[in-house]
Structure 1
Amino acid sequence: MNNATAPARYDGVSIILHWATAALVVLQFGSAETWDFFPKAVRHVMITGHMSFGVILTAVIALRVLWRLTPGYSAPAAGSELMDRAAKAMHHTLYALIAAEVPLGFFTRWTDNHALSFFGLLIASPFGTFSKAAGGFVDEIHDLNAWLIMILVAGHALAALYHHYLLRDDILRRMLPRRAR
């Protein structure tokens, strides 16, 4: 889509899915990075919530990918062709890393030889038991990928703020809900 035919703003479904993804990613990262500071009972609730919201994040990411494939999806161009390509590369990288983080989270739980919990519904590993080393390896990849996601999310947010406050264009406003604009 060239800039002349690009819509003025993102469609409503894309906006909702974007902010739902953002909230879930921040919630997931924040809970995982802080649960060790809480008593065991609270930590258990946080870990169970982390798994449950990870399953919800899976559904949101799947919906985002499916929505992007429908005719109802509309996305404005980021500006110049170079900026548009950079924005698409950032979005695709974030999609890929988040899409990878989800099964890594499932495998982290299963390679630690524990069932995954979705709001109390236990989902046992379909793969049998694993060594402690395998569990540690998968957990490390899950953690590193989470940090990489957060670094890119921070860059994404800073780019939006750069556009809004320094370039004074409407890149950020196009992704805000109508009332917030």
Structure 2
Amino acid sequence: MIQSSSAAAPADLAHYDRASIVFHWLTAVLVVGLFVLAEVWSFLPRGTSTRRLLQSLHISFGLTFAAVFVLRAAWRLTAGRRLPPAAAGWLRVASTGMHGLLYALMAAQIVLGFLFRWAQGEPFAFFGLFDVPTLIPIDREQRHFIGGLHNTVAWTIIVLALLHALAGLFHHYFLRDGVLRRMLSGR
């Protein structure tokens, strides 16, 4: 049985707080943007200035994503608004599982990104402002394995994020339960 969020909470509490909403959409934009950058440069010849620029942007935005992810997780665990579940039964289990899996994969992707860059043995700069030091020396022979895993996790995140978005649209247009509106406005 599906339970409406508006029935489960007063109307003024039916939305996530503004910070949670900003973190959610910033995460979505960064994940998609990082994926697109990597896919675009894969079509460019190695060593070209455009490919190097896209890789540099990917690294810098990846570091931004890592910071946003840590802040988002800390906010969610400490101060973020808790809303009652929008659904019951298998929809609740699927929703909880999807969120947990996305968080785990994003955390893994951040770790893999750092490991991959360190395994490449190349500078790891944030928009040219500062370099990230190598904290864990990684054998260069491991870079293909780590890079392949980084790519697989990226595709998995994109597919799950698409399913997550489709679920939000399903809730909005078919179930009409207000789930999507909870993440669209803090007011």
Counterpart of 1:79, as a letter, is A
Q: Is the contact between residue 21 and residue 186 of structure 2 (CA under 8 Å) also seen in structure 1?
A: no
Matched to 1:66, the amino acid is: A
Could you tell me whether the CA contact under 8 Å between 1:24 and 1:53 is conserved in 2? yes
Larger relative contact order (CA 8 Å, sep ≥ 6) = 2
- Say yes or no: does 1:62 pair with 2:52: no
Shift in Å, 1:131: 3.1
How far 1:151 sits from its partner (Å)? Answer: 0.9
1:27 matched to 2:33? The reply is: yes
* Percent sequence identity over aligned pairs: 42
Q: How far, CA to CA, are the matches of 2:91 and 2:149 in structure 1? A: 31
TM-score (norm 2): 0.85
Correspondence for 1:15: 21
Give me the whole-angstrom Cα distance separating, in 2, the residues matched to 1:5 and 1:81: 18
Runs of 5+ unmatched residues, structure 2:
none
Q: Any residues of structure 2 matched to 1:91-110 within 5 Å, and which?
A: 91-110=99-118
Counterpart for residue 139 of structure 2: 130
List runs of 5+ in structure 1 lacking aligned partners.
Answer: none
Q: How does 1:151-162 map to 2 (within 5 A)?
A: 151-162=159-170
Q: Distance in 2 between matches of 1:23 and 1:65?
A: 17
Aligned mates of 2:17, 2:90 — CA distance in 1:
23
Kept in 2, the 8 Å contact 1:15–1:175? The answer is: yes
Alpha-carbon distance change, 33 to 177 in structure 1, aligned in 2, over 3 angstroms = same
Residue 180 (structure 2) pairs with residue 172 (structure 1):
yes
**Contact kept in structure 2, 1:78 and 1:87, CA below 8 Å:** no
Range 107-116 or range 136-145, more displaced: 107-116
In 1: Cα distance, 2:121 partner to 2:85 partner: 46
